[in-house]
Amino acid sequence: MMSEAKLEALLTESRAFPPSAEFAAQANAQPSIYDEADADPEAWWRKQAGRLTWDTAPTKTLEWDLPFAKWFSDGRLNASVNCVDRHVAAGRGDKVAYHWVADKEGESRTITYRQLLGMVCQATNALVELGVKEGDRVAIYMPMIPEAVVAMLAVARLGAVHSVVFAGFSAEALSSRILDSDCQYVITADGAYRRGTASPLKPAVDEALQSCPNVKAVLVVQRTGGDVNWIEGRDYWWHDVVDRQSEQHVPKSFPSEQTLLIMYTSGTTAKPKGIFHTTGGYLVQAATTHYYVFDVKAETDVCWTAADIGWITGHSYIVYGPLVNGVTQVMYEGLPDSGGRDRWWKIIDEFKVTILYTAPTTIRTLMKWGPELPDSHDLSSLRLLGTVGEPINPEAWMWYRRHVGGERCPIVDTWWQTETGAILASPLPGITATKPGAAMRALPGISLDVVDNEAQSVGNGEGGYLVVTKPWPAMTRGIYGDPERFKQTYWTRFPGLYFAGDGAKRDADGDLWLLGRVDDVMNISGHRLSTTEVEHALVGHPAVAEAAVVGASDETTGQAIVAFVTLKLSAEEATKDQAPLIHELREHVARTISPIARPRQIILTPDLPKTRSGKIMRRLLRDVAENRSLGDVTTLTDPTVVNMISQLMTTTPSGEE
C-alpha cells in the first residue's frame, strides 16, 4: 500500500474539476440517475436489460444465494446476435464496427457491421465443422487482429465458452489454462507483429499442446506468413476452413446464465483462477457502463480502448460493451511506438477518435516521450478520456488532461476487476466532478463501501478495504471448477461482503480513492501477477533454494518485481560472477510465465528475513525494495539479515528491458 506521506501529498495536491456546462447539457447521464438507481437498484438494472435483444425477455431480475447470483435467469438470448446481427437488422449494416490499424503504419482494415456479421457466421460454421458444440471450451491465443474478435463472437454464437489467453503468456502458462478448463479447441495465429518484426506464436501452442492430449483441433490464422510446424488432422488454416463457409448462420438462443467466457487471473496462490462470466448480466452491465461512463453516442463517437483482448478490459470495452452499443471503434495491433513515438497521436487524428481509454502505465510512458509529440498533432476530436488498471498518479492525470485532453475532456478513472466484469466505480461525465487520482464514487446500481478490519464503514478522511455490498449483474459467477475457492477468496474476509483485495480511502468530501492491492497480488503495468506465481517459477530453477518476491513501486510500471533469492549450496559454490546467473533467472521467469513477469531486480542473498515461526517477512523486504527505513525487526530470528539484504539491494543493478 501507498505510504501515508505520499497519500497526504496526493490529497493536498488534489483539485476537483467540476463538469463543464457544455458537457453536462448533452450527457447521457443526468443527475437523477443516482437517485433512481438508489431507490430500487434491481428495478434500475431490469430497465437496463432493455438495452439487449432477448429472444425470451426475462421476468426475473436477481436471485441471490450468497455468494452465488443469477441475473435475468429466465431470459434467453444470443451474445453474438446482440453484438452484430441486430445492428444489421436495424439498417445499420454499413456502419463501421472497427477501423483496425496494423502495427505497420499505413496498413488498416475497415470492417462494417454487415461484414463483421458475415465473418462471424463463417467462423461459426467452421467451428461447427470442426466439432465445437454448446458448452465446449475454446482457448483463444491471438494477437490484436480482427479475427480475434470474430473468433470470440463465433464461439459465443454457438453457446460455447471462450477462454482468451493473452498472447504474451508462455507455453507453460497457456497449457495450464487449457488444462484447467479442459479446452478441446484452440484458435491462434502463426505469429504477431511488434514494431515491424514478426514474432512466432504457433510454436508456443505446439509446445503447450504436448501436455494437452484432449485438444482436438487448432485453427490458425495466417498473419505473418512465417514457417510453421504442422500436425495434419489437428491443425487447420483459418483461410482453408473459414473462408469457404457460408456467410449465413441461424443462431440459437441460450439461457441468460449460460457461461460466456473464462478469463484467468492471478490470485494470491501460484495457480491462476479461471474467473467465469455468464451471458445476460455481463452483457447488460458491459453495455450500460460503456454507455454512461464513456457517454457514448452511437451515431458519432469513435471509441478507442487501447488494451489487449487478452485481458478483461479488451473483453468488456473492445468487444462486448461497444458492440452491443453499436459504436465505431479503433482496434490497434501495435505498440505505442510502432512506427514512431507519435503513432498514437497520428491514429487519433486520422480516425478522429473521440473517446480514448487506456492504462496509467501507458500514459506515463507517453509522458516520458515528451509533450511535444501530442502537442504537435490535432487531437481536437477527443472529447473524453478514461483510465483503468491501477491507481493513476496525479502527475500523469494532469499530463493526460492537459496534453491529450486539451483541458476540455473529462477524465474517467474507472475501477473494476476481472471478477467484476465491468466498471463499478467511476465519475460520470457531466455529473461528477473529477479529481486527479480518484475513482470518486460507485456507479448507479452499485453499492460499494470502505470498511475497517471489523467490517465497519470508515468515515470521511479514513482508509480501509474496498468491498461491494450488493450483487451486481456482471459479477463473476465463480472460479471455474472450484466454488469453494471462490467463497474462500472473496467472501470470508468480511462475511457477506465481496472483498476486492484493494485498499481504499474516502477523502474529506467522501470521494473514493483506490490505494492499491492489500494482498500478495502485484500490479505491473496494469497486469495482475501474484508474488507466489513468480516465486514458484524461481524455485523451479535448479540453482534456486528459496525465493521471496515483492512488488516495489516503480515510476513507469506502477509496481515492479523485486526478487530475493537464496541459492542451493552447489549453485552458490559455482557462482563466482553473479551477473550471468541473475540474467538467467530473469529470463527463466519470463519464459515460464511471461515477459511481463520478468523481475526488474534479483538480489542473491545468503538468507531471507524470517519470523521465529519461519514466515518470510515480506513487509520488510518491500521496505528494503522501496528504500524505506525499516520498522520493527524484533520478531526476526536474525535481524542482521535485513541489513545485509539492504546492502545487497544497493549494490545489485536493476535489469534493463
Least Cβ distance, residue 105 to ligand WTA (angstroms) = 29
Least Cβ distance, residue 499 to ligand WTA (angstroms) = 11
Q: Is position 313 an interface residue for ligand WTA (rule: CB under 6 A)?
A: yes
Binding to ligand WTA (CB under 6 A): which residues in 461-500? 500
Q: Which of 204, 221, 382, 439 binds ligand WTA (CB under 6 A)?
A: 439
Residues 47-50: contacts with CB under 8 Å, at least 24 apart:
48/284, 48/285, 48/287, 48/288, 48/445, 48/473, 49/75, 49/280, 49/284
Q: Is position 594 an interface residue for ligand WTA (rule: CB under 6 A)?
A: no
Least Cβ distance, residue 523 to ligand WTA (angstroms) = 6
Q: Is position 442 an interface residue for ligand WTA (rule: CB under 6 A)?
A: no
Whether residue 198 contacts residue 192, with contact meaning beta carbons closer than 8 Å, is answered with yes
Give CA–CA dist 146/411, Å, rounded.
28
Query: For residues 240 and 462, which CB has a smaller minimum distance to ligand WTA in the complex?
Result: 462
Residue type, 34: Y
What is the secondary structure of 411-461 as a DSSP string?
EEEEB--TTT-S--B-PPTTTS-B-TT--BSBPTT--EEEE-TTSPBP-TT
Burial class (CB in 10 A: 0-12, 13-18, 19+), 12: exposed
Q: Which of 312, 323, 409, 424 binds ligand WTA (CB under 6 A)?
A: 312
CA angle centred on 282, ends 441 and 87, rounded to 5°: 110
Q: Output Rg (C-alpha) for the chain, integer angstroms.
A: 24
Q: Is position 523 an interface residue for ligand WTA (rule: CB under 6 A)?
A: yes
Least Cβ distance, residue 556 to ligand WTA (angstroms) = 16
Stretch that binds ligand WTA, among 24-32, 73-81, 194-202, 387-395 (CB under 6 A): 387-395
Query: For residues 185 and 416, which CB has a smaller minimum distance to ligand WTA in the complex?
Result: 416
Q: Is position 557 an interface residue for ligand WTA (rule: CB under 6 A)?
A: no
Least Cβ distance, residue 617 to ligand WTA (angstroms) = 23
According to DSSP, residue 83 is labeled I
Query: For residues 175 and 266, which CB has a smaller minimum distance to ligand WTA in the complex?
Result: 266
Alpha carbon separation from 451 to 387, 457, 497, 614 (Å, rounded): 25, 4, 10, 31
Give all strands (DSSP E) within 343-407, no chain letters.
Answer: 355-358, 384-388
Least Cβ distance, residue 214 to ligand WTA (angstroms) = 28
Q: Is position 124 an interface residue for ligand WTA (rule: CB under 6 A)?
A: no
Residue type, 522: M
Stretch that binds ligand WTA, among 32-40, 407-415, 476-484, 559-567 (CB under 6 A): 407-415
Least Cβ distance, residue 35 to ligand WTA (angstroms) = 25
Least Cβ distance, residue 414 to ligand WTA (angstroms) = 5
Give CA–CA dist 237/630, Å, rounded.
58
Structure-block grid coordinates of residue 33: 440517475
Query: For residues 136 and 308, which CB has a smaller minimum distance to ligand WTA in the complex?
Result: 308
Q: Is position 48 an interface residue for ligand WTA (rule: CB under 6 A)?
A: no
Q: Is position 364 an interface residue for ligand WTA (rule: CB under 6 A)?
A: no
Q: Is position 389 an interface residue for ligand WTA (rule: CB under 6 A)?
A: yes
Least Cβ distance, residue 417 to ligand WTA (angstroms) = 4
Q: Convert 366-385 to b/e letters by CB count within 10 Å (16 or more is b).
A: bbeeeeebbeebebebbbbb
Structure-block grid coordinates of residue 455: 467490517
SS3 state at 111: strand
Binding mask 268-307 for ligand WTA (x = CB under 6 A): ----------------------------------------
Structure-block grid coordinates of residue 345: 497521436
| Residues that bind ligand WTA in the complex, under the rule CB under 6 A | 265, 311-313, 388-391, 413-418, 439, 500-502, 514, 517, 523, 528
